Amino acid sequence: MKFTKTLIAASLAVMSADTFAAAFQLAEHSASGLGRAYAGEAAVADDASVVARNPALMSVFKEQQLSVAGVAVVPDVSLRGTSASNASVNPNELNDSSIAPAAFVPAGYFVMPIDDKFAVGFGAFSNFGLATEFDADYPAGQLAGETEIVTVNMNVSGSYKINEQFSVGLGLNYIYADAKIVRNFGANPFGVPAQTEGAHLEGDDTGFGWNVGATYQLDENSRFGFNYRSETDITFDGEYSNQLPASAPFNGLAGASVPGSVEITLPAIAEFSGSHQLDEKTGLHYSVMWTGWDSFERLEAYVPGLEEPVFDKEENFSNAMRYSIGGDYQYNDAVLLRAGLAYDESPADKNHMSISIPDTDRFWYSFGVNYTMSEQANLDIGMSILRGKTQKFTESDKLGQQWGFESKGHAYLFGAQYNYTF
């Protein structure tokens, strides 16, 4: 089973590199925030989506409100092959114009004031998720294949207004996570068909977390906010299989399945924001967000019957920052215009790049509008253009083959949100 254990380790190692990147973290909690690049999210109380970013802001609401949102993510991530140590592969065979499929991120929130001091809220949204897909016969199949992780965060929150300046909030989070990792054997010197599955792992788990928030109302035109979201431990328990022959030297599973598991930690997040109404029409908002990626120090994978991990690898991720600034302008009684800029740092080590998510620092350029339909209802529309850097790197598979790439990563986000006040 030694060869099988190596392949299990390889698949889990790739999963760690894929998922623990800035691209794995989702900011798309609302369409209202999307229009200003999510600047000021811990201080602006636009709608019920405050449940996701700072529950203390629920103390601002005087009436019940329901918000339903959805953001479409259209990635534009391409690869160009620059080198291949396997002489039978032309680097051009590594070219791929689209490795990340489009996705839809839904969310829903409800805020209910109890009295002039207390409010409660409920939310369903996602903080983490990704998907990448390569053809089954891709030459660097051990590095590519299919990677998918989906998380759903179900939240209940409460807020308390201490006085006219200070409010605090607390949220409890129940997180469901589902993952799928498929790696094909790719080009190899053994004559194994490239599309042969060298690793197939599927699993899910649930976990619990918490978040706390606070706001300070400096005056009627200025508010500051802070929110902290805890780490969450997830253990993906599921099934592992491969299609490699059971005979030597592979000693594979020939399509059979065995239990497999891997533990990961969804990182902590902290955000500080400010919101200022400069005049009757113009608002200015900004945020600084920290994500504690250094909580992911090691990756250990286990299969039943073995006390020691089949794979133990030290990672080199570092904490990352996100900076954003945005504004809004009340064009007329019915139309509010928004715009924003943001800079997203990548936590990935440049010496540990992966083609499944060739992550990089990126800039956000965002625009949005809010349209008031009636005293009770309004509609938000937002869009963002994300531009990443071009990167060149080399990645090795478990057979010692080296593959060189040039990656370009951009994305387009389109969101809509309906808000109704009762």
In sequence order, the β-bridge partners of residue 360 are none
pTM score of the predicted model: 0.88
If you average pLDDT over residues 369-386, what whole number do you get? 97
Give pLDDT tens digits for 129-145: 878 889 999 999 988 88
Averaging pLDDT over each range in 108-122, 140-154, 192-206, 339-353, which range is the top one? 108-122
Predicted local confidence at residue 298, as pLDDT: 63
| Residue 139: per-residue pLDDT | 95
Of all residues in the chain, the percent with pLDDT exceeding 70 is 89
Nearest alpha-carbon partner for 41 in 269, 324, 255:
324
Which of the residue ranges 136-140, 293-297, 303-307, 387-391 has the most confident prediction, judged by mean pLDDT? 136-140
When pLDDT is averaged across residues 177-195 and rounded to a whole number, the result is 90
CB 358 within 8 A of CB 399: no
Per-residue pLDDT at 314: 57
The full set of domain ranges for the chain reads 2-421
Does residue 3 carry a pLDDT above 80? no
31-41: average pLDDT: 97
216-232 residue pLDDT tens = 999 999 999 999 999 99
Which residues, including other chains, have CB under 8 Å from residue 14's CB and lie 6 or more apart? 142, 143, 145, 147, 181, 183, 354, 356
pLDDT at position 222 is 98
Give residue for tokens 């009757």.
Answer: 280
The CATH fold of domain 2-421: Porin (2.40.160)
Residue 15 has pLDDT above 60, yes or no: no
For residues 190-214, give the mean pLDDT. Answer: 92
CB 39 within 8 A of CB 27: no
pLDDT at 16: 34
pLDDT given at position 357: 65
Beta-carbon-side half-sphere exposure of residue 69 (alpha carbons within 13 Å): 36
Residue 396 has what pLDDT?
87
